Amino acid sequence: MSPALTSVRSFSTKGVDYNNSSAAGSPVTNTTTVNPVASKKFTYQISAAYSAKQKRFSPTTNVFHFNPYNRVQDTAKRKSRPDAGQDAFFVSRINDTGAVAAGVADGVGGYIAAGIDSADFSHTLCERIATAAHQSPTDNINAKYLMSVGYKKILEEDIIAGGASTACVGVAKSDGQLNVANLGDSGFLIIRQGKVHYISSPQTHDFNTPYQLAMIPRELLVQSRQYGGGPLSDQPSDAHVSSHSLRNGDVVVFATDGVWDNLSSQEILRIVSDEMVSGKGWIVGGEAGTVPSPQLESLTSSTEGLGLQSAVAKAVAARAKSASINTKVDGPFAKEVQKRFPSENFHGGKKDDICVVCMVVVEINRPVENSRNCFYGLI
């Protein structure tokens, strides 16, 4: 994320549930929706797409396809990281429970002035969260727990110089229950039957100052005592937590602020809808409106990266990248800058690292096969 200007969304600690009129004005920090059919079983087809701020987006190389039948190497080391700057992601099965954990993290660029690359922090955080999820003997865990375990590991191991990042962590269980802990200005949305069902809101201390997990080097702490101020350091307990009942055909998009600062939720809705309809994953028409296709499972089960989840992730990332380098069309970030700082001549998109994790929800009529795969998507 940029060290100067960050988010353009409303600065509250709650998300917006479009099916619940009280959500927009409620002061609570935990949102829960109830699953009416707990006996149904679901699987989650997931892909990620990413692009570093100074690099072109390649739909053939800047993409990851989660395949529960493959073992994927630990990418905690710099040389094996996907090329997406200080953004990071992870996807992991929660042992053999049928549940899955996924999310994104965005390194805070301001640490570069102290000679620290926050990519090390965001990447390591995702790896530690993925490991905790994969090694859990039960799916009786939640997103805030995984965030806490990952952050604690970083502080205990003391293997990086320091840094900070936002984090958005989700846990989706085989009964369709999704639990998300979001800290900072990364976030997620749920799209259902061609409409935005829920969108998270960022947590910020001030404009362009998101909540962040941090490992502050001793030297910086000493300086802050001498001169006042200092780097921010929030806790996993500060994360906004929400729970949701997913349905067949839902699409969940986790993304860093490189997406949210350049695309509105309605633009993302149009992108997702175009891909799901053209790919025959959704059917439009009739009294029910937009509904999942009977072929949804087969359309998302490809192990060669040809599933709908891959198409959606790449489409969102590509559009966000295009918007970020567009100097003529003002994106959400530019509009917020103009509102808050009228004297600033800021127009167009906001160049930033971009990371998207797309999850397509599929109801299944057979037992979920065991898997031991996880991906430490440390970008």
3-state secondary structure the chain: CCCCCCCCCCCCCCCEECCCCCCCCCCCCEEECCCCCCCCEEEEEEEEEEECCCCCCCCCCCEEECCCCCCCCCCCCHHHCCCCCCEEEEEEECCCCCCEEEEEEEECHHHHHHCCCCHHHHHHHHHHHHHHHHHCCCCCCCHHHHHHHHHHHHHHHCCCCCEEEEEEEEEECCCCEEEEEEECCCEEEEEECCEEEEECCCCEEECCEECCEEECCHHHHHHHHHHCCCCCCCCHHHCEEEEEECCCCCEEEEECHHHHCCCCHHHHHHHHHHHHHHCCCEECCCCCCCEECCCHHHHHCCCCCCCHHHHHHHHHHHHHHHHHCCCCCCCHHHHHHHHHCCCCCCCCCCCCCEEEEEEEEEEECCCCCCCCCEECCCC
Residue 260 predicted with pLDDT over 50? yes
What residues form DSSP beta bridges with 204?
A: 210
- Asked if residues 160 and 124 have their Cβ atoms less than 8 Å apart, the reply is yes
pLDDT at 43: 95
* Domain boundaries defined on the chain: 41-364
Residue 283 predicted with pLDDT over 60? yes
Residue 38 predicted with pLDDT over 80? no
More confident residue, 39 or 209: 209
More confident residue, 172 or 110: 172
Report, in angstroms and rounded to the nearest whole number, the Rg of the chain calculated over CA atoms. Answer: 19
pLDDT at 375: 57
pLDDT at 197: 98
Give the residue-averaged pLDDT of 191-207: 96
Residue 125 predicted with pLDDT over 70? yes
Strands 87-93 and 100-107: antiparallel
Residue 286 predicted with pLDDT over 90? no
Residue 374 predicted with pLDDT over 80? no
Task: Using alpha carbons only, give the angle 294, 273, 277 rounded to the nearest 5 degrees.
Answer: 40
d(CA 282, CA 272): 10
More confident residue, 341 or 230: 341
Residue 20 predicted with pLDDT over 50? no
Query: Around Cβ 195, how many Cβ atoms within 10 Å?
Result: 13
Find, among 326, 373, 332, the residue nearest to 7 by Cα: 332
Q: Quickly state the pLDDT bin for 366 (edges 50, 70, 90).
A: very low
Residue 145 predicted with pLDDT over 60? yes
CATH topology of domain 41-364: Phosphatase 2c; domain 1 (3.60.40)
Q: Quickly state the pLDDT bin for 158 (edges 50, 70, 90).
A: confident
pLDDT at 16: 62
Residue 378 predicted with pLDDT over 70? no
Q: Quickly state the pLDDT bin for 10 (edges 50, 70, 90).
A: very low
Ramachandran angles phi, psi of 44, nearest 5°? -130, 120
Residue 131 predicted with pLDDT over 60? yes
More confident residue, 366 or 296: 296
d(CA 247, CA 296): 12
Residue 96 predicted with pLDDT over 70? yes
pTM here? 0.87
d(CA 179, CA 250): 15
pLDDT at 164: 96
Residue 228 predicted with pLDDT over 60? yes
pLDDT at 244: 98
Strands 30-32 and 240-245: parallel
Residue 163 predicted with pLDDT over 50? yes
Average pLDDT, the chain: 85
Query: Around Cβ 248, how many Cβ atoms within 10 Å?
Result: 18
Residue 246 predicted with pLDDT over 90? yes
Structure tokens at 56: 């072109």
d(CA 241, CA 31): 7
| Choice among 79-83, 152-156, 298-302, 354-358 with the minimum mean pLDDT | 79-83
Residue 316 predicted with pLDDT over 60? yes
